[in-house]
């Protein structure tokens, strides 16, 4: 057998692109750029937030016309609905925390609030102070109210801001209506209480819808974010339905 020639096993020359060492991915680079970009967009977009909120299904002019027509109707429910629609324009951060407040006509900071505070503040503009109304009824009939917070006596700082207490108060003092799933049963200014999937209570005020949906029952309410005017009447389970103040038939 012939021996291989000298140099037969020498290195073969490679013809083609030079092999590149794989680049190591920088984990933070892209994310940092993205976070900076989002932050800049958020900062410069802040002045547009109220405008964008106002454009979600209704213009400022449409809202003003609807509010004016409700105010002119004369009945308490329509006036309460008008007040609720005006309230939905305010910038209020969700905050259900306990605060020490004055009595009567006490309120937490105007830029803060919860679902109950929507009803409290709107009825107060009709001359009804739920803080005083609830406190006086609880003082006289404390054991008739839910015993859910370990309280030994009424507390005018928080009792009226607890939805189960408001539900019991309205059961005792308001016109109680069927909590049906028929939108025709609900009128502007009605107060609705829902049971949420997590067992919590929620509360809001019935108002007309915007524009050509004015014949529909929408809701002004405050849940998790800001006060909203939304088509959510049956997004939750209606638990109670009231009309307050009670109108004479």
Q: By C-alpha distance, which of 123, 101, 103, 127 is closest to 112? A: 101
Structure confidence at residue 61 (pLDDT): 83
Distances, alpha carbon 209 to alpha carbons 56, 117, 213, 233, in Å: 12, 22, 5, 11
Neighbours of 161 (CB within 10 A): 26
Burial-class residue 248 by CB neighbours within 10 Å (0-12, 13-18, 19+): exposed
How confident is the model over 59-75, as pLDDT tens digits?
A: 788 889 999 999 998 89
Looking at residue 208, what is its pLDDT?
97
> What's the pTM value of the predicted model, to 2 decimals?
0.77
Per-residue model confidence as pLDDT tens digits over 172-183: 999 999 999 999
Q: CA nearest 240: which of 182, 148, 153, 170? A: 170
pLDDT score of 1: 52
What pLDDT shows up at residue 16? 53
- pLDDT at position 117: 98
The pLDDT of residue 182? 97
Q: Which residues of the chain have pLDDT under 50?
A: 8-10, 12, 14, 27-28, 32, 34-35, 37-38, 40-55
Residue 156 CA to residue 66 CA, distance in Å, equals: 35
Contact status, residue 217 vs residue 77, Cβ threshold 8 Å: no
Determine the pLDDT at residue 62.
80
For residue 112, CA distances in Å to 95, 97, 159, 201, 245 come to: 6, 10, 17, 19, 25
CA distance 182 to 86: 26
| Structure-token pair, residue 99 | 């605060």
Question: Residue 88: CA atoms inside 13 Å, Cβ hemisphere, count?
Answer: 29
Q: Collect all residues with Cβ–Cβ distance below 8 Å to 219 and sequence separation of at least 6.
A: 192, 204, 205, 206, 207, 229, 230, 231, 232, 233
CB-based contact 143:98 (threshold 8 Å) = no
pLDDT at position 52: 37
């Amino acid at each position: 057998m012939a021996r291989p020639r000298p140099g037969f096993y020498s290195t073969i020359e490679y013809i083609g692109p030079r092999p590149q060492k794989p680049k190591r991915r920088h984990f933070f680079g892209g994310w940092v750029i993205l976070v900076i970009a989002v932050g800049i967009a958020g900062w410069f977009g802040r002045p547009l937030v109220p405008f964008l909120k106002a454009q979600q299904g209704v213009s400022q002019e449409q809202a003003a016309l609807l509010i004016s027509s409700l105010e002119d109707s004369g009945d308490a429910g329509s006036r309460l609905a008008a007040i609720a629609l005006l309230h939905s324009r305010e910038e209020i951060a969700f905050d259900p925390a306990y605060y020490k407040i004055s009595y009567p006509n006490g309120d937490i900071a105007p830029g803060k609030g919860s679902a109950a505070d929507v009803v409290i503040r709107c009825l107060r503009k009709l001359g009804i102070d739920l803080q005083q109304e609830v406190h006086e009824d609880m003082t006289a009939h404390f054991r008739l109210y839910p015993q859910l917070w370990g309280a030994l006596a009424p507390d005018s700082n928080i009792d009226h801001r607890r939805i189960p207490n408001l539900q019991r108060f309205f059961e005792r003092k308001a016109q109680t209506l069927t909590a049906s799933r028929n939108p025709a049963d609900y009128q502007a200014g009605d107060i609705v209480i829902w049971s949420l999937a997590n067992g919590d209570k929620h509360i809001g005020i019935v108002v007309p819808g915007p524009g050509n949906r004015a014949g529909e029952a929408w809701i002004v309410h405050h849940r998790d974010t800001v006060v909203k005017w939304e088509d959510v009447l049956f997004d939750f389970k209606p638990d109670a339905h009231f009309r307050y103040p009670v109108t004479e038939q």
